[in-house]
A and B are shown apart, each in its own frame.
Chain A
Amino acid sequence: MDVEAHRKSFLAQLAKAPAVADVKPKAVADYAASSEHDVKALCDMIGALTLDPSSFRASVRTLLDIVGNDSLETAARLAALGQLKAAEFQPAEFAEFHAEFIDLLRRLAQSPDRGMRVAAFERLTLTNDVHAQKLLHDGLEIGKPPVSTVKAIQFLARDDHGSAVPLFRRLAKATIGPVREQALRALAADTQSVALFESIANDKAEPTRLRQIAAMNLKNTSPTRFAKVATSLALDDQEDDGLRAVAVSAITHTSEVAAKVKPEFAASLLAVGVATGSRVLKASIDRYAKAVARKKS
């Protein structure tokens, strides 16, 4: 290939590329304030607001005003919130706005607008905001969380130093369906739930998805007990092949689990790999075999 010709051709294509829309913060603010604005057009303008150093402050100020404007359409406010979250990836420039931003989100966590509430909790719980956590936890305790129960559990579970684990334990035992699944996920670092994980992982009557979650939780909390469960699952021809594949994969890629399996496991597993008709299980076993071979070499 003629690299220089390629470069020139590339440059020529670049010259034809549509220009980036030059949307000024004032134009967005004025349009948002106009009673005749079109929501989609406003969202597009918000999306086109630049966050380059020269217009950063003005853009962020405009975005904060839009997000905080309870009379504006939710779609526009969410678009502005997305842009603000993107602006956080420029922390030096965003620093002067951070306190105001968090304060705004805390207010929106109690907004009557469900979309804004969910978005506010989504952001606040990523950084373990205690005020957001309090609203979620209080709500779950009385059965009226500010977002769906599943979402509330998921958001609270983001904090591995949280206080909601006793609640998750209750929900994992007392509920069914998506709530139970989410509660089980939320217990992933709970060393007091090891017996529960083991029980679900071994119970063929439980849905495969739950058994997989339980198995991964067990790996996280007790590699020794997981090694026992996983090797048993992997070698059991009566088990779901997908679950077996996940178990083998976990053994392959977790050195402290691999160190705890019995020496005869490898040979037994390789025999399974030869005999099985399941592609996914075979592929998982092949990866295990390669990992073992690499370790030996």
Chain B
Amino acid sequence: MPQRVDRLLDQIRTAPEGIVGDRLLASMLRPALQEFDGLSSNEAELVRGHVLAAFEHRMLDAEVINVAKEELRTSLNPTVLAGAALALRALQADDPECRTLLTGASQRLFGRDERVSFAARVSDASSVRTASDEIASTLKQWPAQLSPCCSGPIGTVTAAEPRTQTLCRHTLGRVFIEDQAGQRSPVADLLRDRTSLIAFFYTRCMNPAKCSQTIYDLAELARLAFAEPLASQLNIVAVSYDPDFDEPARLHAFGYDRRFPFAGQARLARCVTGWDAMRRQFDLQVGYGATTVNLHSRELFMVTSDWRSLGIDSEQLKRPDHLLDRLIRASSSHAAGG
């Protein structure tokens, strides 16, 4: 595995200039990339940090910027955070959100900062800097005054398109889930004729800002839903990325520890058959090491009764009342045939 890491780092260092290299590197930011199969979480993050750092002098598109921001939002890994800071250094104008995220990342590094070096940048030890140094340098390059525009060296940044797809009810009819109480059902039955909010997580996730936080926030939304009659038909489900390990007892313990209000419409589950099909249906951004997940995005989907799945920014879980409102509207709209 470590030799594979070396090869991946070489690939990053030798990525061609220009758009071809930019696209190659951007593709390496997808957690589900086959090249990452079998890597440990730390190896995958090391590579990810290097990919991000390589964008210091490259064109940034919306996807790369969003990846960098998401890492600044949640990552605990100094290499990844330094890489994200370097990637955003390519932004010529100040972005208030970037500034906030960089500041937050720097605070999160308190007590766990490390010296980082990137293959493409460092030639001698004296220029090795810490992740905090890189974040501070990126923050310093922007003027104190906010600028109205936010652009990379070439082109304009736009928000990433939300992921939408139509799910196949027949495929999902062959995917079975088992919830924390050991109740099994086909996914298709779960989704049929109602609006669902589906999150993905796993109990062994090492980053509390990701899966642990997701379940906490989902629990809050579920409590709000229980108190709202209009939400009575909503499904609120979190499905494990790690079905072999996340047996019902583990699902229950994880949810219980996070105040998840288990009830008919709110559950934690794992796939007992058809996990690969589920992954493909939702185009999940998750990669696997030798035994468990090595990298994953925070993934949240609204699935409506017409089998359409819409990707939702997980940050919306921080406003559960707004998100619930959105789910209720979607549910009502589809119930009315709209």
In the bound complex, do residue B42 and residue A92 qualify as a contact, i.e. CB atoms below 8 Å apart?
no
Cβ of B1 under 8 Å from chain A? yes
Neighbouring B residues of A267 by C-beta, 8 Å: none
What are some 21 contacts across the A-B interface (CB < 8 A)? A95-B113, A98-B114, A103-B114, A128-B42, A130-B45, A137-B2, A141-B3, A159-B41, A160-B292, A161-B41, A161-B204, A161-B291, A162-B289, A162-B291, A163-B43, A163-B289, A164-B40, A165-B290, A189-B245, A191-B245, A192-B291
In the bound complex, do residue A162 and residue B249 qualify as a contact, i.e. CB atoms below 8 Å apart?
no
Q: Quick one: given A134-B2, A165-B291, A189-B291, are A159 and B115 in contact (CB under 8 Å)?
A: no
Neighbouring A residues of B247 by C-beta, 8 Å: 223, 256
Neighbouring A residues of B293 by C-beta, 8 Å: 161
Q: Which of B40, B249, B289 contacts A255 (CB 8 A)?
A: B249
Interface string of A96-134 (1 = CB under 8 A from B): 001110110000000000000000000000001110011
In the bound complex, do residue A160 and residue B291 qualify as a contact, i.e. CB atoms below 8 Å apart?
yes
Neighbouring B residues of A162 by C-beta, 8 Å: 40, 42, 289-291
Cβ of A263 under 8 Å from chain B? no
B77 closest partner in A (C-beta):
A130
Q: Give A119 to B63 CA distance when docked, in angstroms.
A: 42
In the bound complex, do residue B42 and residue A102 qualify as a contact, i.e. CB atoms below 8 Å apart?
no
Cβ of A241 under 8 Å from chain B? no
In the bound complex, do residue B5 and residue A134 qualify as a contact, i.e. CB atoms below 8 Å apart?
yes
Q: Which of B115, B245, B292 contacts A103 (CB 8 A)?
A: B115
B interface residues, Cβ below 8 angstroms from A? 1-3, 5, 38-43, 45-46, 110-115, 128, 130, 132, 204, 206, 244-245, 247-249, 289-294
Interface residues on chain A, number (Cβ under 8 Å)? 33
Give chain A nearest CB distance to B77 CB in angstroms.
9
In the bound complex, do residue A102 and residue B114 qualify as a contact, i.e. CB atoms below 8 Å apart?
yes
In the bound complex, do residue B245 and residue A99 qualify as a contact, i.e. CB atoms below 8 Å apart?
no
A100 closest partner in B (C-beta):
B115
Q: What is the count of residue pairs linking A and B with beta-carbon distances less than 8 angstroms? A: 94
In the bound complex, do residue A163 and residue B290 qualify as a contact, i.e. CB atoms below 8 Å apart?
yes
Q: Quick one: given A134-B5, A161-B292, are A256 and B40 in contact (CB under 8 Å)?
A: no
Q: Give A99 to B247 CA distance when docked, in angstroms.
A: 38
In the bound complex, do residue B42 and residue A130 qualify as a contact, i.e. CB atoms below 8 Å apart?
yes
Q: Give A129 to B43 CA distance when docked, in angstroms.
A: 10
Q: Give A166 to B46 CA distance when docked, in angstroms.
A: 20
Neighbouring B residues of A95 by C-beta, 8 Å: 110-111, 113
Q: Which of A99, A138, A255 contacts B115 (CB 8 A)?
A: A99
Cβ of A94 under 8 Å from chain B? yes
In the bound complex, do residue A99 and residue B130 qualify as a contact, i.e. CB atoms below 8 Å apart?
yes
Neighbouring A residues of B291 by C-beta, 8 Å: 160-162, 165, 189-192
Q: Quick one: given A94-B111, A99-B113, A163-B1, are A191 and B42 in contact (CB under 8 Å)?
A: no
Cβ of A91 under 8 Å from chain B? yes
In the bound complex, do residue A137 and residue B115 qualify as a contact, i.e. CB atoms below 8 Å apart?
no
Enumerate A126-156 residues with CB–CB distance to B below 8 Å: 128-130, 133-134, 137-138, 141
- A98-B112, A162-B290 known, 15 other contacts, Cβ within 8 Å: A92-B111, A94-B111, A95-B113, A98-B114, A130-B45, A130-B46, A133-B43, A141-B2, A160-B204, A161-B204, A161-B289, A161-B291, A163-B40, A163-B290, A166-B38
Interface string of A247-259 (1 = CB under 8 A from B): 0000000011000
Enumerate A146-197 residues with CB–CB distance to B below 8 Å: 159-166, 189-192
A103 closest partner in B (C-beta):
B115
In the bound complex, do residue B204 and residue A138 qualify as a contact, i.e. CB atoms below 8 Å apart?
no
Neighbouring A residues of B111 by C-beta, 8 Å: 91-92, 94-95, 98
In the bound complex, do residue B43 and residue A130 qualify as a contact, i.e. CB atoms below 8 Å apart?
yes
In the bound complex, do residue B206 and residue A161 qualify as a contact, i.e. CB atoms below 8 Å apart?
yes
Q: Give A92 to B111 CA distance when docked, in angstroms.
A: 7
Neighbouring A residues of B249 by C-beta, 8 Å: 223, 255-256
Q: Give A98 to B38 CA distance when docked, in angstroms.
A: 30
Neighbouring B residues of A102 by C-beta, 8 Å: 114-115
Q: Give A95 to B132 CA distance when docked, in angstroms.
A: 12
Neighbouring B residues of A98 by C-beta, 8 Å: 111-114
Q: Give A91 to B109 CA distance when docked, in angstroms.
A: 12
Give chain B nearest CB distance to A15 CB in angstroms.
38
In the bound complex, do residue A137 and residue B1 qualify as a contact, i.e. CB atoms below 8 Å apart?
yes
B294 closest partner in A (C-beta):
A161
